[in-house]
A = this chain, B = another copy of it.
């Protein structure tokens, strides 16, 4: 009575179904893919056999024949960051609407992992790829280019007309954040950046300095502190380093909300008042920012929408006629002010 077939067996194949329904394999294939070609009777007979045997198509066989899969690859920098999960979610929804699956991978910002996964995408012959690249991705991407696999940059502007891209104007984001802090009267601001190898981190700094210019304040007002990672732990570290500094900055702009939450924890634990002693601004506006110890001011990026838009661009490129023109969609960031940055007057 066991459902479990002999462990050596390869499972039910189209041949078994053909035999059971007493038709050719071609007919079984047609029953599944072009039912309109068959007489109602035959179709029913085949489907009954499929049902009875529990037949499931072998995707690898179809793929081999078709020369490509029905999957998109999605490579993100950090799955534990809700911002990326949000993008992934948006991408998945959009892909499903087009009958495509998504293969989600996490490069952990390591070049080796990135190369590994892009190689995997190529081996799988994914239909297209969505990539949040690190600095040096251009070379790793050649494996996709060589196989004619189109890709779209997510959360990064494509350089030249290499590919489509979906991004957020990070310069503006940085400007909004630091502009807000300057407006609150802060003149000693720390920018807790992630690794400067990430364009996002660089752009946000540029924006920070622009904000200084606009406010007629010297660039010295902003000190850049580079962290190795963009996660909560790194934030806690950076927080303790801040505490040791003298004079302490009065305003802190973090490259993302995870860092900001880590800093916040350290500060609160050390009895430093936020926002009164130190004002804090994060980036991404993840769900948890609003629920933080002190609700976090943050620069919002439309994560799900970015993922969905990128998928649409990719699908359009895949379906595209010969003449596809790369498109760079740029969303505007939005400052969401909460308590962490509002100094009492």
Contact = CB atoms under 8 A, between A and B. Distances in A.
A97 B55 CA distance: 32
Contacts of A54: 142-143, 146-147
Nearest to A86: B80
Contact of A119 (B56, B86, B143): B56
Interface string A1-33: 001111101111000000000000000000000
Interface in A267-302: 287-288, 290-295
Interface string A141-182: 011011110000000000000000000000000000000000
A195 interface: no
Interface stretch (A39-47, A61-69, A212-220, A248-256): A61-69
A264 interface: yes
Contact of A295 (B92, B101, B293): B293
B147 A56 contact: yes
B125 A59 contact: yes
A56 B292 contact: no
A80 B232 CA distance: 17
Nearest to A55: B146
A39 to B, nearest CB: 27
Contacts of A122: 56
A79 B69 contact: no
Contact of A3 (B60, B61, B142): B142
28 contacts: A3-B142, A3-B146, A5-B147, A11-B146, A11-B147, A56-B119, A56-B143, A57-B123, A58-B123, A58-B125, A60-B63, A60-B125, A61-B64, A79-B85, A80-B85, A80-B86, A80-B89, A85-B85, A92-B106, A103-B103, A104-B104, A232-B287, A265-B291, A288-B291, A291-B292, A292-B293, A293-B294, A293-B295
